[in-house]
Chain A
């Protein structure tokens, strides 16, 4: 049968029993909205948590590495930190000319620039070349009379000494440090001399949502990563699993409900099916007609459900905002839409199987005898 004819039959099907399809659509709206609202409520709650963390400030994410190696930088590159610097290392022995710099008073920062412009943020005068350069504060400049191009010498247990060139100055202001080394150069220089740092890197994340993923990726590379709120993030990771589990359970009930409704509908339409079969319509064409009508019903229902979910989630978002005073983002909605879409497909495919079974096993003769009775 041609598509045009199938559409004609489908249109007639809607016109013949609009209330049956309206009932079916209502059930679907109920099922899909339940799925969507469940997902969206969880999403909103989880997002509120992350937004709360993000609002507090950049979340510190500590990656503990015994002895910083050059290859670790690639691991951190892959993990997607916004900033990386070192902590917990011993103060170096530094000389400006023949004067030793008191590193208990003039602190050193080891900074790993993601790109050249990151490093330049320290800079006010000069340039920020990566190779063996060092930046110093105006306070240090004043104290030790340092000029651009001067050398800072780091004494280590093994020779030769490491020599850095002062390539730029920065204003001390409220900064705690006075000397900035590029982390990679600093670590490599020590490693070349067989000296290994016993310290760890600290990376900062722009978005706390990435924490679990990054931690998992680093663990796969046997790097231990932790942060202060590890336990809370664990719970948040479980929340994600709960969302999918609840979606699956709700979808299952949706399928059950839809299939029962479809079964009732087909049984109520048995006589109509019988008439068409009697005239000579093929079973496959009958199934196609019902597939079209149920697909249209599901499409309409999912659109209505989407509106219901959006209204609901905005309401929930408003409540969360009111209680926790955090801004809401809509990253959860995309997940809801995807889950509803997947639920629609599952419900529809199960519905098609149900139709095939119900229509396929209809006994024409029995129905005819029944209708005569």
Chain B
């Protein structure tokens, strides 16, 4: 369970807070959608939950560990073991093959080399990229890149997937496929936190919260 208490974030360059005293509880295996306009603070909230941004004040407790007060190394371990990120810009390494891109988290997590091939092939089959295993990431289409990014996020079997506008750069057909994939992941018991400005996509979530000026203004189940 993730418990967020009085979370605030103020950037040096901004006058208004990106997050303003946010309180939120996210259950294990929940599909939570966060919606809001640009600059509402939804990505900041996701990044703080994912441990890639530190809050100005407040606490984020994941499985009873306050990730806002842990060391940089512990935060790296948290990111590698407990979370998988999916971004709008995919953030694949274009010169690497699909296989190598998906392999990165396995290397970082010191997973035995013997398991790599089996795990990668299995996850690529799941996202429908088994025939692209040797292709360079730069040669993939937008939808394929995002599926590759999802495979990379899933390969270490983390309990939480954090998706920041995963369909932002995709056409409607590919967006639909990605959302289906995220739903399937959630059906397997993994928690998904989706940040989107698309209310249609947000409906995939079992709960939707809406942010405005860094505050939760609406919550629907």
Residue numbers of A with Cβ under 8 A of B are: 1-2, 5, 8-9, 12, 15-17, 271-272, 274-285, 364-365, 368-369, 371-372
Q: Return 15 A-B CB contacts under 8 Å, by A number.
A: A1-B107, A5-B110, A8-B107, A15-B95, A276-B108, A279-B104, A279-B105, A280-B79, A280-B81, A280-B105, A282-B72, A283-B76, A364-B47, A371-B89, A372-B165
Residue B109 CB within 8 A of the other chain = yes
A284 / chain B contacts, CB cutoff of 8 Å: 73
B44 / chain A contacts, CB cutoff of 8 Å: 365
Contact in complex: B93, A279 (CB < 8 Å): no
Complex: how many Å from CA A278 to CA B83? 9
Residue B215 CB within 8 A of the other chain = no
Contact in complex: B85, A278 (CB < 8 Å): yes
Least Cβ–Cβ distance between B94 and chain A, in angstroms:
9
Contact in complex: A272, B52 (CB < 8 Å): no
Least Cβ–Cβ distance between B81 and chain A, in angstroms:
7
Residue among B53, B79, B91 facing the most chain A CB atoms (10 A cut-off): B91
Contact flags B71-92 to A (C-beta < 8 A → 1, else 0): 0110011111101010111011
A278 and B52 contact, Cβ closer than 8 Å, known pairs A1-B108, A5-B110: yes
Q: Which residue of A lies closest to B158 (CB)?
A: A280
Q: A276-B104, A278-B50, A282-B72 are in contact. List 8 more A-B contacts (CB 8 A).
A: A1-B107, A5-B108, A271-B91, A275-B104, A276-B108, A279-B79, A279-B80, A365-B44
Complex: how many Å from CA A219 to CA B124? 80
Complex: how many Å from CA A5 to CA B79? 18
Least Cβ–Cβ distance between B172 and chain A, in angstroms:
20
A280 and B43 contact, Cβ closer than 8 Å, known pairs A5-B107, A12-B96: no
Contact in complex: A281, B52 (CB < 8 Å): no
Complex: how many Å from CA A271 to CA B89? 11
Complex: how many Å from CA A5 to CA B76? 17
Contact in complex: A281, B53 (CB < 8 Å): no
Picked from B43, B78, B79, B110, the residue with its CB within 8 Å of the CB of A1 is: B110
A1 / chain B contacts, CB cutoff of 8 Å: 107-108, 110
Residue B152 CB within 8 A of the other chain = yes
Residue B210 CB within 8 A of the other chain = no
Picked from A5, A275, A277, the residue with its CB within 8 Å of the CB of B93 is: A275
Complex: how many Å from CA A365 to CA B81? 19
Contact in complex: B93, A281 (CB < 8 Å): no
Contact in complex: B100, A12 (CB < 8 Å): yes
Contact in complex: A9, B107 (CB < 8 Å): yes
B47 / chain A contacts, CB cutoff of 8 Å: 364-365, 368
Contact in complex: B110, A282 (CB < 8 Å): no
Residue among B92, B107, B109 facing the most chain A CB atoms (10 A cut-off): B107
Complex: how many Å from CA A232 to CA B79? 69
Contact in complex: B76, A277 (CB < 8 Å): yes
Contact flags B58-74 to A (C-beta < 8 A → 1, else 0): 00000000000000110
Q: Which residue of B lies closest to A272 (CB)?
A: B93
Complex: how many Å from CA A39 to CA B77? 49
Complex: how many Å from CA A317 to CA B70? 62
Complex: how many Å from CA A271 to CA B72? 19
Complex: how many Å from CA A137 to CA B72? 90
Q: Which residue of A lies closest to B79 (CB)?
A: A280
Contact in complex: A282, B76 (CB < 8 Å): yes
Complex: how many Å from CA A282 to CA B110? 12
Q: Which residue of B lies closest to A275 (CB)?
A: B91
Contact in complex: B87, A280 (CB < 8 Å): no
Q: Which residue of A lies closest to B169 (CB)?
A: A372
A278 and B77 contact, Cβ closer than 8 Å, known pairs A1-B108, A2-B110, A12-B100: no
Contact in complex: A371, B91 (CB < 8 Å): yes
Complex: how many Å from CA A198 to CA B103? 88
Picked from B77, B88, B91, B93, the residue with its CB within 8 Å of the CB of A280 is: B77
Complex: how many Å from CA A281 to CA B109? 8
A365 / chain B contacts, CB cutoff of 8 Å: 44, 47, 52-53
Complex: how many Å from CA A275 to CA B108? 12
Least Cβ–Cβ distance between A167 and chain B, in angstroms:
84
Residue among A1, A285, A364 facing the most chain B CB atoms (10 A cut-off): A364
